[in-house]
Structure 1
Amino acid sequence: MAAPRAASPRRRPRLLLPLLLPLLLPAPSDGLGHSAELAFAVEPSDDVAVPGQPVMLGCRVEGTPPVRISWRKNGVELPESTHSTLLANGSLMIHHFRLDPGGSLSDEGDYECVAQNRFGLVVSRKARIQAATMSDFHVHPQAAVGEEGGVARFQCQIHGLPKPLITWEKNRVPIDTDNERYTLLPKGVLQITGLRAEDSGVFYCVASNIASVRVSHGARLTVSGSGSGAYKEPTILVGPENLTLTVHQTAVLECVATGNPRPIVSWSRLDGRPIGVEGIQVLGTGNLIISDVTVQHSGVYVCAANRPGTRVRRTAQGRLVVQAPAEFVQHPQSISRPAGTTAMFTCQAQGEPPPHVTWLKNGQVLGPGGHVRLKNNNSTLTISGIGPEDEAIYQCVAENSAGSSQASARLTVLWAEGLPGPPLNVRAVSVSSTEVRVSWNEPLVNTKEIIGYVLHIRKATDPPELEYQEAVSKSTFQHLVSDLEPSTAYSFYIKAYTPRGASSASTPTLASTLGEAPAPPPLSVRVLGSSSLQLLWEPWPRLAQHEGGFKLFYRPASKASFTGPILLPGTVSSYNLSRLDPTAVYEVKLLAYNQHGDGNATVRFVSLRGASERTALSPPCDCRKEEATNQTSTTGIIIGIHIGVTCIIFCVLFLLFGQRGRVLLCKDVENQLSPQGPRSQRDPGILALNGAGQAERGRLGRDEKRVDVKELEQLFPLAGAAGQADPRPNPRPTDPAAPGLCEETQFSMLPLQGFGLLEEMTSEAKAPCAGSAAVPLPQDAGPGLPSDGQVAWPSMAPVAQPALSGQ
């Protein structure tokens, strides 16, 4: 079990037979004070160095010897030189720190300690070494004037590494820090409360660190006589600033308020949570100091200045953000796995901001690919089908802006004696658009203990984590893989399994499924007006990848030939037909095609007659408009009421009697529609759903049209029950001497909220018919109706050439 820090060594009793030592102690170094795992006991840390002075970078490693230690600077191995020395315990000594800004001789950079033994290699956390510096003041204190009893404030700002220590001098003499009226804040602020005449003088800011000492310009404080004592509203002169700190640092939230009487300063959190008391103190008259900050201290802090005894208050706020370096919640564990199986490492880290996790294999960055998978934001490393090349030390490195941390674990691959070799001669042959047959031969050696095979399958373009497996019995040397996607390349490889483990993987093989024509697209039709339609369907972007798209055909039901094909890309999902004949019934056909041919078509019938009738009748039904225009007089109101009542009555009558009409066609018309004979003798395929079958692909003729039976039965319901009286005023006479019964076909137009569909249905009940002369045929229909199922309508108006528009 690996951990970022090794446990204390365990002592074993010394044996009298040294020859048995290698047998009884597989890790001899355990008794010598070494950990069996390679791990860091001491890692280098960030430091600030003074040019010309020595620098020590600590590193100590525990593990099975021999252990070789080296160092990297900015990712590159440091060569041996007289400028630095590798100490016996693994630490690095730089004798004279060099600072060469922009040059190659500078010793500034990120350093890593690298340790390696026969089991693998580990890399320490990065330690950043920077040169000590001190800049000039970029904010000098400014002169100030105050009244006795008032408040004065001076501020200076300067950058340096390490962070400079700020002190103050008055008239070149250090300020007495025991004076409670003087408050020195670490960020370079001096506050003086309860001003007195003796506070007048020249103040200087002094900044110092290991690199240098800087003194600011002088700023004079002038204290005038006492004020008038008049009331002054509470005012916050300086409020808290936004701060970003790292855990364990100290937060200083400044708040300086003035007023007469002197206001009371209080603090709260904007989210309502208590600030707490541990590590909290108020410095001066209102500065909030939080020592040893944690992530829980992050939030918005509000400073309030209250006038004593009243509700009058002024507020200011600042945000505190506390970052935490990455630390591990769960370390990866060293594991041993048989060859051919799967190894998994889990590494959970936390920090603020959330850390990014990377994996190293023997010190090299490990990314996903092949049989290596990373999941759960890189917190889980999975290695499938492990072999001897996967035996190594794996490191989890968690890093954020506040720092980094690492933990390591070792993978040991167990090889059992007598494992079979990989299956041979793996072949994959496409059988259909969804099936591939995979075959193979037995391994060359150790085949007696094989208990079965596992076939590994994935799309050739998919990552390895999307692979899936299918088990095959030991006596089978071929397997049919089904439920695949058409025109898609797949990768296959096989392993043989025994009770002691799996063989190595066979050589992968590729095969592509056969292609097929697309399925019929779902199609809906919407009536836009008396002479326009909108066709809607789902787009199929994949058609464009296979040289395909959509083909659209349409025609009046009384015509023999279609208009089209209209070629549309696979990304289009609608099309508009305009300038259509309002009295005609149209047949619309849509099919998808690709490089393998045309798919089956979806057929729809639609009538525009109901839409035109509603358009003609709609103006009288605009009751609200009529009423609104006649509200200017009593006469107008009365007329509007009459119009509204008339409109309602008319609409009710229209709904009851205006939408339904019947047309009776005799048997000779029906025979022309379906020349194959009576319904019971017809081929059921003639009325198959969504049109053409396999014989239809590639051609569009009159004899290839099919009609959706269910769709037609919905639009053309049966007449009343047998024996019901004909409600028409002049029913057609029945000839009892007719040579036979004729089938009765009924037509009905049902405009349903913008949709007008026309369908037909043949009644199962046979009734006497008066003859074919009962319904005249249109003159342009020829001697008889076409045999492809077209519908002939009486008094069919000529059809104008429609205009088309794509969408």
Structure 2
Amino acid sequence: MMKMKMLLLLGLCCSDQTEGREHHSVCDVSPALVLSGVVGASELAFIKEPIDVIAVRDRPLMLDCQVEGEGPISITWRRNSVPVATGVRATVLGNGTLLIRNFSKRRESNETDAGEYDCAAQNRYGMLISRKARVLLASLPKFLSHPESVAVDEGGVARVTCQVNGIPEANITWQRDRLPLSTEDPRYTLLPNGVLQITGVRRTDSGLFRCVASNIANTRYSHEAQLSVTVAGFRIYREPVILSGPQNLTINVHQTAILECIATGNPRPIVSWSRLDGRSIGVEGIQVLGTGNLMISDATLQHSGVYVCSANRPGSRSRRTALGRLVVQVPSSPSFFTKVLNQTAMQVYWELPSKPGTLEGFRLEYHGVSNPGVQGQETFPGHINTHTISHLEPAAVYEIQLVAFNGNGDGLANRRLVSLAEGRNTAAAGQTCNCDQSDGSTSTMLVGIHSGLACVLCCLLFILLGYRRSLFCRKEVSWEAPPTLNAVRGAKGHTPESIELSQRCDSTPPPVMVMVEPTPPIQPGNTG
């Protein structure tokens, strides 16, 4: 009986939400998370959760979901929030792993097995839902651009390029006359974006060039482009010309930036780099690829700026320049909130960036305030925004820290304190209530007792005010002032102030009128 009363009080707490106000409490989560009222040895905890993966068409795919807790434990899977049908194509193994025997995409209906997968583990104490794992279909579409034929003077510079987008990113190599191009020749420079540069062109370099893009999905060959080498009896003087200058580039902290600059002329121009603001480029992490490409490794915020590529004719002041802006950015501090599941577990949620690709992932750290020895750290890819922390010290206070990072670079940290003793997040925005239904929880019993006393006092107060209504009326109260009160007047024709309390119920009772009679002013000489 006591347990039923406690659950009723908790239910009232959860249902007492003000309309139009945002709340971040345990009551707001899905029923699966609300059922997570497990403690001690019965607590469900993930050993392995599904992770992001790129699947290959017509090949098997396995997603892990291993849980510990009191049995029996049932494991179910969802894709894009829809239950995964088990049968011939998909089955759940004994350890909870989802096996898709032939990952497919049907062209005629455009249906695919790709999507966001999560698993749910449930026993008689409650349910836990894993993080969402993004499953992408490996692909390698057609080339966006093909190399074009070019004629170059002997001793000059040649540049050919191709472009393709793949999942995962394709590896690009080059062939000449259908044979792999030797990368040991220092005259050949292969940039990661599919650019091939050849300096000091020789007659033996002529031929048909094509690029080869490959990943786990496929291998594609571009169209062939003819490189012709013109042999002149004598070399003609040519002014420096920049064939391709640096492009505007935005990268993350500690990533690598490659600014292209390739120039031609006779005599061969000398390529140099500088910053438009006059600051020194420095030497640490700086490298020149080929004859003029600038590579900045382990980029920092100080590397942001406008870079100037100059092609200088030897022995003169004649030169050509090209500009490119480099922006190095740091992830902003992500906002997050927590939901206490029980006395030893909590779930953390955080916001994803509005612009995908601005960060690589998140790092979640936690440690006990009174017992710093209880601590942990987890790292997640950039599209994950939830994690369940379990096996915590019962009824303890923890500091949670969330950091977004680019490669090895960290953004600003966001910290919050969470108390497991009260069953609520003390730092989360919005009103919260203790809605975890943990059996044997002392804090829950205290909340129930205090809530019961408060209910008794409220009932007495309503009885004294003549409040009569059904117990199961909707808790939607509106305070309204009647437009006129002609029927109620004071002793000398003065209309008293009044407030009408009307409550919308299935059976509307007579309104309760609270009369506030103003005290007439004291006239001089009427004190007797």
Indicate which of 414, 432, 444 corresponds to 1:384. Answer: 432
Is residue 2:458 matched to residue 1:423? no
Name the CA shift for 1:216/1:104 in 2 (closer, same or farther; >3 Å). closer
Quote how far apart the aligned CAs of 1:144 are.
0.9
Is residue 2:286 matched to residue 1:286? no
Quote how far apart the aligned CAs of 1:44 are.
2.6
Name the CA shift for 1:228/1:373 in 2 (closer, same or farther; >3 Å). farther
**Structure 1 counterpart of 2:362:** 327
Indicate which of 350, 360, 363 corresponds to 2:404. Answer: 350
1:174-189 superposed matches below 5 A? 174-189=180-195
* 3-state SS, counterpart of residue 160 of structure 1: coil
Contact 1:168 1:174 in 2 (8 A): yes
Quote how far apart the aligned CAs of 1:380 are.
2.2
The CA deviation string for residues 195-225 of structure 1, in whole angstroms up to 9 with x for no partner, is 1222222212222223332222221112223
Contact 1:149 1:226 in 2 (8 A): no
Quote how far apart the aligned CAs of 1:54 are.
1.0
**Structure 2 counterpart of 1:52:** 58
The CA deviation string for residues 613-671 of structure 1, in whole angstroms up to 9 with x for no partner, is xxxxxxxxxxxxxxxxxxxxxxxxxxxxxxxxxxxxxxxxxxxxxxxxxxxxxxxxxxx
Indicate which of 165, 176, 201 corresponds to 1:170. Answer: 176
Name the CA shift for 1:346/1:101 in 2 (closer, same or farther; >3 Å). farther
**Structure 1 counterpart of 2:116:** 110
- Which has the larger displacement, 264-273 or 132-141? 264-273
Is residue 2:225 matched to residue 1:219? yes
Give the TM-score normalised by the residue count of structure 1. 0.39
Q: Which amino acid aligns with 1:350?
A: A
RMSD: 4.7
List runs of 5+ in structure 1 lacking aligned partners.
Answer: 1-25, 30-35, 358-371, 393-410, 428-437, 442-476, 479-505, 518-682, 684-807
Indicate which of 428, 438, 444 corresponds to 1:414. Answer: 444
Q: Which amino acid aligns with 1:151?
A: V
Quote how far apart the aligned CAs of 1:254 are.
2.0
Is residue 2:210 matched to residue 1:210? no
1:124-163 superposed matches below 5 A? 124-163=130-169
Quote how far apart the aligned CAs of 1:183 are.
1.1
Q: Which amino acid aligns with 2:479?
A: S
Q: Which amino acid aligns with 1:130?
A: L
The CA deviation string for residues 318-339 of structure 1, in whole angstroms up to 9 with x for no partner, is 445663234145559769779x
The CA deviation string for residues 122-149 of structure 1, in whole angstroms up to 9 with x for no partner, is 4333322222322222312111111122
1:391-790 superposed matches below 5 A? 414-416=444-446, 419=450, 420-424=452-456, 426=458, 439-440=461-462, 510=477, 512=479
Q: Which has the higher Rg, Structure 1 or Structure 2?
A: 1
Name the CA shift for 1:192/1:104 in 2 (closer, same or farther; >3 Å). closer
Indicate which of 297, 301, 307 corresponds to 1:302. Answer: 307
Quote how far apart the aligned CAs of 1:152 are.
0.4
Q: Which amino acid aligns with 1:305?
A: S
Name the CA shift for 1:89/1:155 in 2 (closer, same or farther; >3 Å). same
Quote how far apart the aligned CAs of 1:238 are.
0.9
**Structure 1 counterpart of 2:323:** 316
Quote how far apart the aligned CAs of 1:194 are.
0.8
Q: Which amino acid aligns with 2:404?
A: Q
C-alpha distance in structure 1 between counterparts of 2:216 and 2:153, whole Å: 39
Contact 2:241 2:311 in 1 (8 A): no
C-alpha distance in structure 2 between counterparts of 1:295 and 1:63, whole Å: 46
Q: Which amino acid aligns with 2:57?
A: P
* 3-state SS, counterpart of residue 316 of structure 1: strand
C-alpha distance in structure 2 between counterparts of 1:215 and 1:184, whole Å: 17
Contact 1:51 1:131 in 2 (8 A): yes
C-alpha distance in structure 1 between counterparts of 2:310 and 2:188, whole Å: 20
Name the CA shift for 1:509/1:129 in 2 (closer, same or farther; >3 Å). closer
Name the CA shift for 1:27/1:256 in 2 (closer, same or farther; >3 Å). same
C-alpha distance in structure 2 between counterparts of 1:85 and 1:337, whole Å: 39
Is residue 2:46 matched to residue 1:27? no
Contact 1:236 1:316 in 2 (8 A): no
* 3-state SS, counterpart of residue 423 of structure 1: helix
C-alpha distance in structure 2 between counterparts of 1:143 and 1:128, whole Å: 41
Q: Which amino acid aligns with 1:327?
A: F
List runs of 5+ in structure 2 lacking aligned partners.
Answer: 1-38, 330-357, 367-387, 415-422, 466-472, 485-522, 524-528
**Structure 1 counterpart of 2:512:** none
Contact 2:187 2:198 in 1 (8 A): yes
Q: Which amino acid aligns with 1:168?
A: W
**Structure 1 counterpart of 2:25:** none
**Structure 1 counterpart of 2:105:** 99
Higher relative contact order (CA 8 A, sep 6+): 2
* 3-state SS, counterpart of residue 302 of structure 1: strand
Contact 1:184 1:190 in 2 (8 A): yes
Q: How many residues align?
A: 373
Contact 1:373 1:382 in 2 (8 A): no
C-alpha distance in structure 2 between counterparts of 1:318 and 1:206, whole Å: 30
Indicate which of 82, 85, 88 corresponds to 2:91. Answer: 85
Identity %: 41
Quote how far apart the aligned CAs of 1:344 are.
11
Quote how far apart the aligned CAs of 1:351 are.
5.0
* 3-state SS, counterpart of residue 120 of structure 2: strand
